[in-house]
Structure 1
Amino acid sequence: MEPTTAVLAIGDNRFPFHRFEKMSPHIQDALETRRIDVTLTTDREELADLSAYDVVLDYLTDSTLDDAQREGLLSFVENGGGYVGLHCASDLTSTEPDDPDEVIDSRDEPFPELRELIGGHFLTHPEKSTYDVRVVDSHHPITASLPDLRVFDEPYVLDVDEDVRVLARMDHPDHADMPALWVRDHGDGRVCYCSVGHTVSTITDPDVGELLRRTVRWVADA
């Protein structure tokens, strides 16, 4: 019998958008099978010791971590753990504002260690819309035989490193040919980033669910 892959899915509820309490049940439903077990949390302290997990799925908008949390996550991946960045995980400049009357604050530069881990970061996005995500590399286990996707989602414009392996690209009328799914190695671990995942309709799409399960299995098999 194949072993169960233990996934820690982490997000936050600090902003009126990307609320983990709204999205996390759908993420869990999309991922969980007899071979994938998902734990949901908003507690960043969990990142300091990830010894009970095989994969971290990151749905944080504010990626502010203390030293122990950051080092726990990075060493986990460097030593063979899997990392899945979903949608807002690439937003490495947004932070919780000090002013309670403000919705969001922003750093001038992305968190450098997380920028290196993911291999790219969020720049901006137009309004939510319907667009295609085209598979451009069908020779990878994540995307082999996977159909192109059509989603109603928040289309992310990203700065992406040239050395990542791009598996799918966003086909958007204003931002055509933007990477939307890529993989990279980080130390002994594996990383996959997927830019879709803002809406419930996207996460509950059967083809997106299959994509996420394949992603978890691939990053866990380091």
Structure 2
Amino acid sequence: MKKALIFQGGWDGHEPAQVAEIIKDILKKEAFDVTVTDTLETLQKEDLSIYDLIVPNWTQGTIERDQLTPLLEVVAKGTGLAGLHGGMGDSFRMETDYQFMVGGQWVAHPGDDGVTYTVNIKDEDHPLTKGMKDFQVISEQYYMHVDPAIKVHATTRFPNAKGPYVSDDEIDMPVVWSKKWGQGKVYYCSLGHVAEVVRMPEVMELMRNGMVWASR
């Protein structure tokens, strides 16, 4: 049986405990043995190499170097990393090594919550998005700064809501991507502002596919 670790916490607005339970349920249905922790001390005190997958679910916050280094190292050695929204894409804003591993960082959500936008699936034959079609979301639309090395699997079109950025040309912003960090596979999905959004069938499918794909 594969083993997964979810570490949850940080800003309460993203409902980290509730989202962690949804992710846990998805993984248990895929026959993972799942551990959930609400302290970053787990990263320095446990042997992370026993896990086939680690799921960060910790918006903002700070992380000590002796907590971050084991995470960076274990993913480089083959443990998978997968997560969503601010729980993985807006964690530990001062830690550029973490952002380098993830492949991007949240910088804005023009229009804030309640924006209606379309998620465009880029490759229906890829295991991460196989058989999926474009779908609409009413939530935050994440504007990300991204690593050009990522492989993009779904996008959304900007500009949508008003803001000074609308003077730029239209762009397709990554919503779902994958990359490698050493021997480890990394998966990210920018959807999932709160538990209600994570429960959307399309988001559940994307997370199931991504976590299974990323796991060692």
- TM-score, scaled relative to structure 2: 0.84
Partner of 1:164: 150
Q: Which of the residues 174, 181, 198 maps onto 2:176?
A: 181
The answer (yes or no) to whether the contact 2:11–2:60 under 8 Å persists in 1 is: no
The answer (yes or no) to whether the contact 1:142–1:215 under 8 Å persists in 2 is: yes
What is the alpha-carbon distance in structure 2 between the residues aligned to residue 209 and residue 37 of structure 1?
18
Partner of 1:193: 188
Partner of 1:44: 40
What is the alpha-carbon distance in structure 2 between the residues aligned to residue 37 and residue 133 of structure 1?
31
Partner of 2:17: 21
Instruction: Decide whether aligned partners of structure 1 residues 206 and 121 sit closer, same or farther in structure 2, where only a CA change above 3 A counts.
Output: same
Q: Residue 142 in 1 paired to residue 128 in 2?
A: yes
What is the alpha-carbon distance in structure 2 between the residues aligned to residue 77 and residue 208 of structure 1?
24
Q: How does 1:1-222 map to 2 (within 5 A)?
A: 4-12=1-9, 14-48=10-44, 49-88=47-86, 89-92=88-91, 94=93, 110-126=94-110, 127-128=112-113, 129-171=115-157, 173-174=160-161, 177-221=172-216
What is the alpha-carbon distance in structure 1 between the residues aligned to residue 116 and residue 146 of structure 2?
22
Total equivalences in the alignment? 202
Segment drifting more, 190-199 vs 35-44? 35-44
Q: CA deviation at 1:22?
A: 3.2
Segment drifting more, 154-163 vs 180-189? 154-163
Q: CA deviation at 1:62?
A: 2.3
Question: Aligned partner of 1:124: which letter?
Answer: A
Question: Aligned partner of 1:123: which letter?
Answer: V
Instruction: Decide whether aligned partners of structure 1 residues 159 and 45 sit closer, same or farther in structure 2, where only a CA change above 3 A counts.
Output: same
Instruction: Decide whether aligned partners of structure 1 residues 157 and 182 sit closer, same or farther in structure 2, where only a CA change above 3 A counts.
Output: same
Instruction: Decide whether aligned partners of structure 1 residues 16 and 78 sit closer, same or farther in structure 2, where only a CA change above 3 A counts.
Output: closer
Question: Aligned partner of 2:116: which letter?
Answer: T
What is the alpha-carbon distance in structure 2 between the residues aligned to residue 40 and residue 182 of structure 1?
24
4+ residue runs over 4 A deviation:
none
Q: CA deviation at 1:65?
A: 1.7
The answer (yes or no) to whether the contact 1:82–1:219 under 8 Å persists in 2 is: yes
Segment drifting more, 187-196 vs 64-73? 64-73
Q: CA deviation at 1:52?
A: 2.8
Question: Aligned partner of 1:219: which letter?
Answer: A
Find the residue that maps to 2:186 and give its secondary structure: strand
Q: CA deviation at 1:125?
A: 1.1
